[in-house]
């Protein structure tokens, strides 16, 4: 099933690069582009895309555009979802985007394959956040999460020792390459371990795996981030 996209960025070269990356996937189709918030709202109304990939544009204009697009689209039977893009230091803008209703956020230096995967996740109704951002958010909310198990009853752990270590590092915001270097194995091996973890625990994606790690106490708030190891 094809996913239609509207690209929103004030730089034509950036839009051209995004278009090239996204249209390399057979199930993704860029149906329009916009350079600012007002144009984004107008094009979204005209094209009704599945996903709006929107640069936060360095200020509240991006947040207002997200809210305008989603408020207009809400009465429609066809739901429009927004995936926001921003630089590494855009955490305040990220919070605004999430409050406005964005289904996900990615850093602008995200690898192409991860961008394509994120668009598919958002289009299917899921949510996407970089592991480091998710880790920071969970530091704030983890104490409020339920344990998931009655007191005095230890949950069964189907993971191997190595899989638990991979999950612990993943939950701290480490990338596959960083985990591979730390464990002295190949990135393909780490990817295989992650797939096995998701299968054994019945989880959909890395985000759910991180939440599981916090809920089960494998990782605790404040334990450390990828750049503090």
In the chain, where are the structural domains located? 3-128, 137-228
Encode pLDDT of 133-142 as tens digits.
776 666 666 5
Average pLDDT score over residue span 11-39 = 93
Q: Which DSSP string do the residues of 79-125 spell out, in sequence order?
A: --EEEEEE-TT-HHHHHHHHHHT-SEEEETT--HHHHHHHHHHHHTT
Q: What is the pLDDT of residues 183-212, one digit of tens each?
A: 999 989 999 999 999 899 988 778 788 888
Res. 224: pLDDT tops 80: no
Decide if 75 contacts 45 (C-beta within 8 A): no
Fold match, 3-128 / 137-228: yes
Q: Which class would CATH give 3-128?
A: alpha beta
Q: Locate tokens 């590092």: which residue?
A: 169
Helices 112-123 and 12-22 cross at an angle (nearest 10°) of 80
Q: What is the pLDDT of residues 96-108, one digit of tens each?
A: 888 888 888 888 8
Q: Domain 137-228: state its class.
A: alpha beta
Where do we find the tokens 């973890």? 197
Band (26; pLDDT cuts 50, 70, 90)? very high
């Amino acid at each position: 099933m094809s996913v239609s996209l509207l690209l929103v960025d004030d730089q034509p070269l950036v839009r051209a690069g995004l278009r090239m990356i996204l249209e390399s996937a057979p199930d993704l189709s860029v149906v329009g582009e916009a350079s600012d918030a007002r144009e984004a709202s107008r094009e979204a109304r005209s094209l009704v895309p599945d996903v709006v990939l929107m640069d936060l544009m360095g200020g509240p204009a991006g947040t207002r555009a997200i809210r305008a697009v989603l408020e207009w689209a809400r009465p429609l039977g066809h739901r429009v979802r927004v995936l926001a893009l921003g630089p590494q230091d855009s955490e305040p803008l990220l919070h605004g985007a999430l409050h406005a209703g964005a289904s996900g956020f990615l850093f602008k230096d995200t690898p192409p394959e991860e961008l394509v995967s994120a668009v598919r996740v958002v289009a299917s109704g899921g949510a996407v956040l970089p592991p480091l951002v998710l880790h920071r958010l969970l530091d704030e909310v983890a104490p409020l999460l339920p344990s998931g198990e009655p007191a005095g009853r230890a949950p069964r752990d189907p993971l191997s020792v190595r899989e638990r270590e991979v999950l612990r590092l993943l939950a701290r915001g480490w990338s596959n390459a960083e985990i591979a270097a730390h464990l002295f194995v190949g990135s393909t091996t780490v990817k295989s371990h992650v797939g096995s973890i998701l299968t054994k625990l019945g989880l959909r994606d890395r985000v759910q795996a991180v939440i599981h790690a916090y809920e089960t106490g494998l990782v605790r708030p404040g334990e450390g981030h990828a750049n503090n190891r």
